[in-house]
Every structure is written in structure tokens, then in C-alpha cells.
Amino acid sequence: MSNILDSMPRLPVADLTENVMDWLTDSFSPLFNFFQKGGKSAMEFITEMLIAVPPIIFIIIVALIAFFATRRKFGLAVFTLVGLLFIYNQGLWEELMNTITLVIFASIIAIIIGVPIGILMSKSSVAEQIIKPILDFMQTMPGFVYLIPAVAFFGIGVVPGVFASVIFALPPTVRFTNLGIRQVPRELVEAADSYGSTGWQKLIKVELPLAKSTIMAGINQTVLLSLSMVVIASMIGAPGLGREVLSALQRAQVGNGFVAGLSLVIFAIIIDRLTQSLNKKK
């Protein structure tokens, strides 16, 4: 049996993939260059704006946001204040601003793409059957693999980092949007139909508001997955805290690596708690 298997010709999957990537790169090179230059300029502009804000003012503003977002509870506000002061004290403030920019862009793009796809899946069983295996593929593929097309399309830098982060972080928003809308009680949808609501009106006034909690849970996961790609994206030149972790790894600097990693953990906790607070009922 093993001899039969050994004699079988190898399927040219690798060669086919190479050919497809070469065709995409050659055919859409002007488009990729446009996004690379435009995206880089936009992200550098946002980062420069964030860096221009005095750190103490930035820290106070974020701490106040945390305070009011948690309905005037001091826990997250104090943690935010102390955590951001620690990052500033360790000389990682500029790297944090770069990380914030990357996470913001990747998360917004993933949400803009993911919510409509999730709505489409909730409205069409055929679309759901087609898209679900694609989402499974995207979630099970190792994150490092996404760096290959990112570099092929956009070269080295922050833009390919965002591209890889979007692909990696997209599935939760799509899945949770689909799940949330499908879980809307049928009686409420039928009631909206009885009042003569159009499909758009039902979506905007009934389904999305009722599915908000589930959708926000998916968005929370998307933001955290975008942040988890920061270190991986640093391997292709994306700036930020991930680059500090990678540099410490390459130089075997345990202390610097721990500080950069701890800074990422602090930022992740702040982002997670803030996005969760948006999902709590008033």
C-alpha cells in the first residue's frame, strides 16, 4: 500500500499557489502600491498626532474614559493610569503609539468588512454554507502564513502588518454578527413584518439593536486578535511594541523582552475592558 502511495504523483499545490501569487502581484501591482503608500501615509499621520499629544494628557484622558465607561468605577481607571505611566516610564511610549495605530486600523477595517459579511450570512443560508469553510480556514491557518501574501503584495512595513492582522482578526466579527442576527426572536421579526417594515428597516431598527451584545462580543475578539498579531507583524517591519519583543528575542535580552511583553499585556487588558464596558447594558 505504501508503495502505491509513494508512486502517486505529487499534486502541484505549491507551484499553483506560487503562480496565483505571481499573477495577483503583477496584475494588481498599481493597486497594491496605492494602498501601500496611502495606508503608510495615513498611519504615520495618526501616529504623529498621537505622539504630539503630551503623554500625561493622553494618560489622563484615557483614564477618564475608562472611569466613565465603567460607570464611574475606579478599578479600570486606576489600572489604566498606573499601566500607561509604567509604559511611559520604561521609554516605550512611541512604540505604544505605533501599536495603537496598527490595532485601530486593523480593527476598523476588519469590522467594516466583517459586519456586512455577517449580515449576508444571516440572510442567506447559501452564503453561510460558502463563507463558513473560508472562516474556518482563516482561523486555523497559522498567523505566520499570512505574512507571505502580505509581503508579496505590500512589501515591508506597517501596511502588510495591518493586512495580515485584518485577515487573522476578521472571522470573529463575521461569525458573531451572523449568530446575533439569527438569534433575534422570530416573533419580533414577524411583528416588524406585520407593520410593513422593509428589510432595511427590520435590520436597522430590530435585528441589529437586538444583536448588538453578540456583535460587540465579536468586535471585542477582533480587537484582541489584532493586538495579538503585533509581535508577528513586527517580523515584516511593523513598528510598535512587537518590534521591541522581537528585538529582545533576537538579542536574548530577557529583561527588555519582559518589559515589552508586559506593556502589551497592560494595553491588551485596557482595550479588552474598555470594549467590554461598551457592551454592558446601562
CATH code of residue 189: 1.10.3720.10
Cα(28)–Cα(24) distance, rounded to whole angstroms? 6
Radius of gyration of the chain (CA): 22
Domain contains 5:
no
Residue positions counted in the chain: 282
Q: Select from 143, 50, 56, 161 the least CA-distant residue to 102.
A: 161
Quick check: is 70 in a domain? Answer: yes
- How many angstroms separate the CA atoms of 164 and 143, rounded? 8
d(CA 73, CA 64): 10
Q: How far apart are CA 88 and CA 118, in angstroms?
A: 39
Place of cell 508586559: 262
The answer to the question of residue 2 being in a domain is no
Type of residue found at 252: A
C-alpha pair distances (Å), 272 with each of 221, 223, 265: 8, 8, 10
Whole-angstrom distance, CA of residue 109 vs CA of residue 134: 18
To the nearest 10 degrees (0 to 180), the angle between helices 158-182 and 125-140 is 140
Residue 10 belongs to some domain of the structure: no
Please report whether residue 22 resides in a domain. Answer: no
How many C-beta neighbours within 10 Å does residue 257 have?
A: 18
Q: Which helix (H) or strand (E) holds 80?
A: helix 74-89
Look up the domain containing 68 and give its range.
29-278
- Please state the domain count of the chain: 1
pTM as predicted:
0.85
Strands (E), the chain: none
Give buried/exposed letters for 243-255 (b at 16+ CB in 10 A, else e): bbbbebbeeeeee
Cα distance between residue 57 and residue 82, in whole Å: 14
Q: Which parts of the chain register pLDDT below 50?
A: 282
Does residue 24 fall inside a structural domain? Answer: no
Burial of 5 (0-12, 13-18, 19+ CB in 10 A): exposed
Do the domain assignments include residue 19? no
Closest CA to 61 of 36, 74, 75, 80: 80
Is residue 104, in this structure, part of any structural domain at all?
A: yes
Residue 117 has a CB neighbour count (10 Å cut-off) of: 20
Grid cell, residue 121, equals 450570512
d(CA 43, CA 158): 8
Other residues' Cβ atoms within 10 Å of the Cβ of residue 94: 14
Please report the pLDDT score of residue 172 as a whole number: 92
